[in-house]
Each structure stands twice: as C-alpha cells, then as structure tokens.
Chain A
C-alpha cells in the first residue's frame, strides 16, 4: 500500500505525529506540575487520525475539533509558541488567552475551534461546508468528534443536513473506546459508529485509527467524493488514548485496566509507523533522532516564548465580546 505514497508524504505524516506526541507529552507534564492552569485533554495515542486526515487538507479547508483539540491544530499547521502561550493564558496565544486549551482555534488555519461541548463541532462544520458550497469554493469542512459525541442530537442533525444538502463535509469519528470514563459498550448499542452513516444516506467506513496510512487512504477517497459534490462520508477511526480523559494520570479513576492500556500501547501508531519506514528505507534511525531533536528544540523555544509573554491586561476582558463596526 505504502508504495503508492511518496516518501515526502510518508515523512510528513511521521513528522505530524511526532510533533503532536511531543507537544502533548510536554503539555501534560506542565499541567500536572501546575505550570499550565485548567484542564487539558491530551491527544497522545490518537495521533494517526489527525495526521492522516490533515495531510490532505490545505489551510483553506476547515475543521471543527473537540475538547481533545491540540492534535488537530498542530496537524493543521499550528505554531507551538502560540499554542503554549494560549495554554498558559497569555496575551500572545492563538486566542489572546481567552480560550485556553478547550477553545484553541485559528481561523487563518481553518481551525474553527476546539470545543468544550461534546458534539459542539459537527453542526458548525456542516455550516462551514454549506458556506463552501454556497460560495462555490472547493473547500471541504471536516468535523472531528468522538464515539461519545455520536450520541448527541447535534451530531444527528448535522449529519442529516450535510447528507440531504450533499455538502462537502467529512465526519471523522475518533472512537477511542470511551465517552469520558464510560466504555463504549455502556453508552451505545452499536459496535461501529460508522453503521450510523446508513441512517443518513452516506457511506460509513471503519478504519484502523492506529494506522496512519489506513486513515490517509480512507480520507483521500472520501474527500474526492465531497469535492465532487456527492456529499459527506462518515469515517470511523478505531483508536485509543494513552492518557486519562483529563491530564496524564488524571483523577486516578479505575475505569479501565492496565492490561487494556498496555495492549493498545503495543499498537502505538508512531512506533509502528517508524518500524515500517525503517523497513522501507524511507528513514534511518539517525534521521528519526534528528526529527525528535528538532521538535524538542522547537518545544523548548515555544515554552520559553510562552513564559516570557505577558498576560492579557484588564481592559482586554471586555474586548471581543462583540464585533464593533468601524465606520470608513
């Protein structure tokens, strides 16, 4: 399979995943040692999904994200410095410190927001897709959401409308097996969220979300369909989060077993992909090490930037509640 995909793309897929993994590992440490305020929902374990999807998108294409949104923004081209600054609540952050982890966003990158509301994203992505069709652009909007969000009415309404209007839209379900702390079997009777696609009259596909190439290939076909005006596709990526729902160890709730976690960790998307790339001769251990070193240096610099940045000033509190009309 991988033979059809150029070495350049394979390396980019790898880099995207490494960037997400390393950012999240550092962010997790900083949350748990109190350097970053609030709650972070970290993406470690799910990197293949964001990376495989975003490899196909330009900054003009839009995405809506979830509460677990850092990975989506990084894969969409987010800068570490502005991201760390936002997590710190600094004025130099992507949202001037007003959104934080749960609302991190950047319109220029087509990232229409992480979302603190489970199921908040799909209706907005559907709206962006409607706008793309209305304005006759070739842009596509992608809604990321979880197995938990697929039980929300907002997902149902968005999926139905995207299908009936044949919108250039993708619904990417990251099924990590848990809606917060509740296992999938306890929150829905279907095993495959993709089965629900039939109810909307759109194709539903299940892919291995720990295999970045599988994700990449599934999305390619779905995007072709979307851009051709044939409507949305639901792609369910079976994945797993290696960290807790919140933070790294989180609240220490006993809702899953160590054995289950270890089983999934053996399928780590990045380790598996690196082995594959080494085998194909696309990379060497030395070049992999160099990639990590580069990303680590970038993270260090970004954290320094965030630490050195000022907090927002009091007057900024009431700014941006409304758009103020400026007379020409």
Chain B
C-alpha cells in the first residue's frame, strides 16, 4: 500500500482543470490569448481564469466590453490573421447575441473562401441548469451549434476531459466550442499535470454492460452512472457511454455498443424536442436497425423554458430516476 501512496493520482475539480488547460495552452502557444467578459482581474464569474491575469498580463487575458458580437467577431478576425484566440462566452444563453458572428461568419468563412481562411479559435461557454438561474442563464443549446457545418462542439462531463478537450480544441485549426457545465465545477477527477489531449470526435465508454447502451451528454453522464444500480435491480446491465463530442459525433462507438446490447437510450439536459438526441437516434436506427430489440429511448428536459423555482427546476432536469422510468416504459417493465 505504501507504493500505491507514492503513485497517488492527483485529483482536481473541474474548475481547476479548466484553468490548468487554458494556462498550459497559453504557455505553449505565443499567439493564444483569452478574451471575454470579466476574464481579467476578476478571473471569470465561474472562477476558472483565476491567477491567469497576474501570470500573463492584460495583453493575453483581455477584458472585453459586454459585447458578444464583438467578442466572437474579434475571434474570427484575429484567428483568420495569425492568432489562436480562446474566447469566453460567459453563459451559453448569450449565444443569441452573437449567432450571426457564429453561424454566418465563423462557421462559414473557410468554406465560403474556398479554403482560403483558417480559423483556429476556441470558445468556452457555460451551459446547464440546477443553480436557480432561471430561463436565460441555464440552457443547454448545443444542438444549435451542432447543426452548423464548420464548427465543432464538445461537452466535457468531468475534469479530465475538460482539460484534455480544451487543449485539443486550442490545438485544432477549426472553431471549437467547449460547452462546460456549471453544476460540474466542483466535481473532482484524476487529472495528470502534463499536457494531454482528449480527442475531439471520440466517445468514451465509462462502464461496460451487456443489456442496454446509455448514451449520455455532458453532466447527464453522472445521472446515467447513478442509474446503473437501480437498473441492475431490474435485471438490466447498462453500458454507459459519454458522448463527449457531439460534432463530430462518434457513431462508430455507439453502434458497436448497440450491436452488443441491442437496446439504447439517449439522455441530455437540453430540451428533448429537437435536441441532439434525435440526431443520435436517427443515425443509430439507420445504421444498426437489425440489431435493435426495442425502440431507442430518449430522455431530455420537457418542452418549457428552464423554470426559476427550485421546486420546478428539480422536476425539470433529467436525472437517474427519469432515466430508469424511461427504460421501464420503453421495455414495458
């Protein structure tokens, strides 16, 4: 046991893993900088740029006005001309303020220019409900982005992936959105000190099982893991896959799992109707229809804005119970 103690893995909370990933990128890439609202001396309202202003100074940790069109525009123009910006879009809900700069400029510039422009830009943004911030500060809008050819979208569920995906995003020569989750900020995981990449476009099998594949997005991975024991009691051995990257989506890993388990369920915190889960289900039924013993189930938020009242918000967010309930319904149990 004393040997094990020497190799005690270092644990970091999600928030500190973000800081470390961004910091290592800034050290590695001279042409990288962070720009966004309250990122400077304040260190972000979520705390993940703490210390970076003192270490890198105001030229590389850039406080911007509250101007989301400007922030994204800054990233488009700067990335097209030799910089590797890391933009901070404080709450994902603010995407409405800058959707033109994202959808019509950032996503399309390379294509419209016939490959003439390269945009190595990373956007960190915060999604998710659960802290009583109501309808305009709690949404999960990843499907809006995944629908845009030209951008990549990843959603780390844990500290290890947060750091590794930020580094992969910053090294990628395309616009990459790293969609973070506010309820996950304190979650601890083993995080190596050295720089490493988590590959964009690769799902992660969290737990193997033989009866049911649960494809979970973002924080819902933890709810899926929590559903494993009650499902076991129902005699269902669930495999849990962290989708991790929704654009590109790793259909290979999902299909390989379905071929083994013959049953599937997709869960995300975003509104179920029109959510990314629908795309996953469509791809799976196209490519693995013959292997399915049941319809692929979907769990997502109801078709309403995120409510403020803690009593309502608790009902609104999908959890292990709603996953189990959906499995029972789909399998007629």
The answer to whether A120 touches B100, judged by C-beta atoms less than 8 angstroms apart, is yes
Number of B interface residues, CB 8 Å?
43
Given A123-B69, A123-B76, A123-B77, A131-B113 contact (CB < 8 Å)? no
B150 within 8 A of A: yes
Inside 8 A of A153's CB, which chain B residues have their CB? Answer: 69
For residue B115, give the distance in angstroms from its CB to the closest CB of chain A. Answer: 4
Interface residues on A, range: 35 or more
The residue from A103, A125, A325 contacting B112, defined by CB atoms under 8 A apart: A103
The residue from A120, A134, A322 contacting B83, defined by CB atoms under 8 A apart: A134
The answer to whether B67 touches A98, judged by C-beta atoms less than 8 angstroms apart, is no
B73 within 8 A of A: yes
A132 within 8 A of B: yes
The answer to whether B118 touches A323, judged by C-beta atoms less than 8 angstroms apart, is yes
- When chains A and B are docked, how far (Å) is the Cα of A131 from the Cα of B69? 17
The residue from A122, A319, A322 contacting B174, defined by CB atoms under 8 A apart: A322
The answer to whether A325 touches B173, judged by C-beta atoms less than 8 angstroms apart, is yes
- When chains A and B are docked, how far (Å) is the Cα of A107 from the Cα of B113? 9
Q: What's the A-B contact tally at a CB cutoff of 8 Å? A: 147
A135 within 8 A of B: yes
Inside 8 A of B64's CB, which chain A residues have their CB? Answer: 161
The answer to whether A131 touches B81, judged by C-beta atoms less than 8 angstroms apart, is yes
- When chains A and B are docked, how far (Å) is the Cα of A161 from the Cα of B101? 15
A193 within 8 A of B: no
B128 within 8 A of A: no
The residue from A62, A132, A320 contacting B115, defined by CB atoms under 8 A apart: A320
A157 within 8 A of B: yes
Inside 8 A of B100's CB, which chain A residues have their CB? Answer: 117, 120, 154
The answer to whether A128 touches B115, judged by C-beta atoms less than 8 angstroms apart, is no
The answer to whether A123 touches B82, judged by C-beta atoms less than 8 angstroms apart, is no
The answer to whether B117 touches A105, judged by C-beta atoms less than 8 angstroms apart, is yes
The answer to whether A323 touches B174, judged by C-beta atoms less than 8 angstroms apart, is yes
- When chains A and B are docked, how far (Å) is the Cα of A323 from the Cα of B113? 12
Inside 8 A of A132's CB, which chain B residues have their CB? Answer: 81
Inside 8 A of B112's CB, which chain A residues have their CB? Answer: 95, 98-99, 103, 105, 113
The answer to whether A321 touches B111, judged by C-beta atoms less than 8 angstroms apart, is yes
The residue from A98, A107, A321 contacting B80, defined by CB atoms under 8 A apart: A107
- When chains A and B are docked, how far (Å) is the Cα of A116 from the Cα of B72? 17
B33 within 8 A of A: yes
Instruction: Name B74-94 residues within 8 Å CB distance of A.
Output: 74-83
Inside 8 A of A113's CB, which chain B residues have their CB? Answer: 109, 112-113, 117
B172 within 8 A of A: yes
B105 within 8 A of A: yes
**A291-328 to B contact mask, C-beta < 8 Å, 1/0:** 00000000000000000000000000001111101000
B149 within 8 A of A: yes
Inside 8 A of A223's CB, which chain B residues have their CB? Answer: none
The answer to whether B104 touches A120, judged by C-beta atoms less than 8 angstroms apart, is yes
The chain B residue sitting closest to A93, CB to CB, is B114
The answer to whether B77 touches A321, judged by C-beta atoms less than 8 angstroms apart, is no
A106 within 8 A of B: yes
B235 within 8 A of A: no
The answer to whether A128 touches B114, judged by C-beta atoms less than 8 angstroms apart, is no
For residue A326, give the distance in angstroms from its CB to the closest CB of chain B. Answer: 10
The chain B residue sitting closest to A94, CB to CB, is B114
B116 within 8 A of A: yes
Given A157-B67, A320-B111, A131-B173 contact (CB < 8 Å)? no
A126 within 8 A of B: yes
The answer to whether A160 touches B77, judged by C-beta atoms less than 8 angstroms apart, is no
Given A117-B104, A130-B78, A132-B81, A321-B73 contact (CB < 8 Å)? no
Inside 8 A of A122's CB, which chain B residues have their CB? Answer: 73
For residue A255, give the distance in angstroms from its CB to the closest CB of chain B. Answer: 26
Residues of B participating in the A interface, judged by any CB pair closer than 8 Å: 31, 33, 59, 64-65, 67-70, 72-83, 100-101, 104-105, 109-120, 149-150, 152, 172-174
Instruction: Report 28 cross-chain contacts, Cβ distance below 8 Å, ordered by A residue.
Output: A98-B114, A106-B113, A112-B81, A112-B117, A113-B117, A115-B105, A116-B104, A120-B100, A123-B73, A124-B73, A124-B77, A126-B73, A128-B78, A131-B81, A132-B81, A134-B31, A154-B70, A157-B70, A158-B69, A160-B70, A161-B64, A161-B70, A319-B115, A321-B110, A321-B149, A322-B174, A323-B110, A323-B119
